[in-house]
Amino acid sequence: MTGPITTELHDDVLVIISNNPPVNALGAAVRQGLEAGVKEGLANDAVKAMVIRCDGRTFFAGADITEFGRPMQEPGLPTVVDLIELADKPVVAAIHGTALGGGCEVSLGCHYRIAVPSAKIGTPEVKLGLLPGAGGTQRIPRIAGVKLALEMTAKGDPISAKAALAAGLIDRIAGEDSLVADAIAFAREVATARPLPRAREKVAQANPEAVAAFKKENAKRFRGFDAPAANIACVEKAADGSSFEDGITFERAEFMKLMMGVQSAAQRHIFFAERQAAKIDGIASDIALRPIKKVGVIGAGTMGGGISMNFLSAGIPVTIVEMAQEALDRGTGVIRKNYEASAAKGRLKPEQVEAAMGALTPTLDFNSLADCDLIIEAVYENMDVKKEIFAKLDAICKPGAILASNTSYLDVNEIAASTNRPGDVLGMHFFSPANVMKLLEVVRGEKTADDVLATVMALSKTIKKVAVVAGVCDGFIGNRMLKPRQVEAMKLLMEGATPEQIDRVHVEFGMPMGPFQMSDLAGVDIGWHRDPTRIESIRDALAAEGRWGQKTQKGFYDYDEKRNPSPSPRVAEIIEDFRSKSNMQKREISDAEIIEKTLYTMVNEGALILEEKMAQRASDIDVVWIYGYGWPVYRGGPMFWADSEGLKKIVAGLEKHGFAVSELLKSKAESNGRFN
């Protein structure tokens, strides 16, 4: 046999081998090869048993998702899995790496499964808005029970070989380095065993208590998503006494509903968009990168500490600089506390905590940054302070060191101009908390050298960030688009909407919180001028009264001791006072108007960002909003959502309210175009 599937005859055992780098995805050629391999084994009387294994770093790690949305070439995966399961000779799956999605389903179609201790098995399709569509929702509950099937399908997290063995999803653990020999020996051992264990012939016991508990426990996590509910329904179907064939028919119908729906399209869009974001237009992919062996961080506050943790966790030593010993001690104390909290939850071993802390050098000596390869400034947003710091860095840092600012708004070109090496300067805008949030906006200055940008983009993967290239403009991509939403939300308050109505609309849309909930969480006083006699806006009035948000138990909402919000009569008075002073008439505001004024304006700003080439591609904007601001992944980001909503509808909504519409948005609407 040729192609990605080959066979080897080991006396009476036929070994069917996949070699389809990088992850042995189950594309058409692999499915065709598997079908031919199994048929070869069945046709040869000398073959008493078969083993399916994979070369490379992993067992089949899932479907080839580039085939999604296109006509599926035969045989489909369900056909291949059925052929394996219905074979009258034992078939053993030999698993290493990960058996995910379709790979898990191939293994479940086999009569026996053997895995190395480091292997993992799972069905992550729900993360693409789908469900296991080759019998996974029907076989897992029949083998391992409803409870585990719910966890695996509706949440999509893989389980270890040890957990899979305990659940019956694998039958034996192989030696870490002897999988092939152990699998062949296992195949010989079961060669004459009859009847063959087939998942389709097992009975799943109904467990309504487990289903109810699972739904309740995950209600917040699943809010707004279609796929978890479909996975749950399929698992319930497997255990309701229906035949396996009826269960498969139900699974197929649910799969097709999801596949044709907008949510799965959105989630698949983000899957590809995240990978696309790592590519830098105009820079060769093989450009030589600068070595980053030691990182300096200026500022040991919340941001500086969080930024440091990213590098320490990746095994990169960090020198952290502060101006006062008290601030330095407090910052390093918080870093240790964060690591120890992770260790207490079992996410880290105590020795990993000590290794990370051991790689941290806290100091008050600015000159200690002289031998760092990358220095990140994380002090407060003041241009004069930042320019002073960069001038000092210019004087002490070694040639070739990369100088980065964590600014979220300020002009990176102006910062770079305070040095004699503007080519070495760029923005690295981490999101708070920096040790948790995945997004990193990498801001390319006018003079940023190509190898500097490429080095930081590559480094972002090392520290487990999703990085997006942004141009220099006020607020870059994310905060620039946040601004019109906040401005319009404040105007809507003046016109008659309440904070609770506006926030409710955003939460129902799928956001983790609305504009005013976000303001209260971040602090109403952030960016406030600090003069209580100067009251020019509703926010000024709140801040002047000490209504700074959750930290003072009052902001746009009143809070109890558990930080539960309730509408504030005082805030209603302040808004009414401003309204009457402005001679504005209160009117009814519809939910639709809130969407048009707060979200359509964001899309418009995104189009302007693309027009001005401040983002490389529309999908990069979507990645920023998914990973940095909690835009619901099932809506695919603001630009994908605009495509789904209809660009003509967006333009009409903007024009109805008198907004100036981006030329790019207008032209795409007129030509029935799309951003993605």
User: What amino acid positions are annotated as catalytic residues?
Assistant: 105, 125
Q: Please give the structure tokens belonging to residue 345.
A: 């939850």
Helix (H) or strand (E) holding 51: strand 49-54
Contacts of 441 (CB under 8 A, 6+ apart): 427, 428, 429, 467, 468, 470, 476, 477, 478, 624, 628
* Tokens 């003069």 sit on residue: 531
Which of 160, 91, 170, 104 has its CA nearest to residue 135?
104
Nearest-angstrom CA–CA distance, 112 and 441: 47
Q: Which residues pair with 173 in a beta bridge?
A: 115
In 3D space, the residue among 396, 385, 379, 376 whose CA is nearest the CA of residue 322 turns out to be: 379
Q: What's the Cα-to-Cα distance from 112 to each of 40, 133, 158, 449, 561, rounded to whole Å? A: 19, 21, 19, 55, 56
> What are the backbone dihedrals phi and psi of residue 607, each rounded to the nearest 5 degrees, phi first?
-65, -40
- Identify the CA nearest to 468 among candidates 673, 480, 417, 602: 480
What CA–CA distances, in Å, run from 574 to 539, 541, 570, 579? 10, 7, 6, 9
Full DSSP string of 105-173: HHHHHSSEEEE-TT-EEE-GGGGGT---TTTHHHHHHHHH-HHHHHIIIII---EEHHHHHHHTS-SEE
Which of 198, 207, 210, 208 shows the shortest CA–CA distance to 244? 198
Alpha carbon of residue 18 to chain centroid: 30
CA angle 352, 356, 359 (to 5 degrees): 140
Alpha helices in 345-411 (DSSP H): 350-358, 383-396
In the chain, count H helices and then E strands: 29, 19
CB neighbours (10 Å) of residue 658?
Answer: 6
**Token match 């293994």: residue?**
107
Whether 94 and 55 have beta carbons less than 8 Å apart is answered as no
Q: What are phi and psi of 549, to 5 degrees?
A: 110, -155
